[in-house]
Structure 1
Amino acid sequence: MLSGPSAGEPVPLSEKMVAHYRDTMLAHADDPKLGACPRCLRTRCPDWWWAYERLAAAGRLTDLPGPASSGGGVGAPE
């Protein structure tokens, strides 16, 4: 038998990891002027996606800030 959360249930995530993933999303968010991550120079770079997926699996995306402008930000992908 499988263990862990059932499909549709949030994956537990410590507050420390939630804060880390939020910081990662902010650091790697697409810069509106560049149109890409200022660190990786890629649109929605792998670090951004990894943090987004972890927060989504934990059900912790609802309290993230939205996009800074129409060209980027940390909100959900369009």
Structure 2
Amino acid sequence: MNILIINGSPRKGNTWEVVKEIKSFLNTKESSIQFEEIHLKDNNLPFCKGCYNCFEKGENYCPHFREYAELLIKLNHVTV
């Protein structure tokens, strides 16, 4: 099983401590889990311009699409 962890916090503080506890707990239940971690602060993602191109035309038309493409690919491969 693969689990994608997205950390939106600007630092690895209390939230990250909770993430570590959850990872540890899940590993006791299933040893074959592979975790992938994305720290948004490390990706230098630009702020939304509010142009609504993503809603009206599709996410490929976002002026920041290149910066977000790798993250979107990973999110699109997540199964629920």
Q: TM-score, normalised by structure 2?
A: 0.29
More helix by share: 2
More strand by share: 2
Structure exhibiting the larger radius of gyration computed from Cα positions = 2
Q: TM-score, normalised by structure 1?
A: 0.29
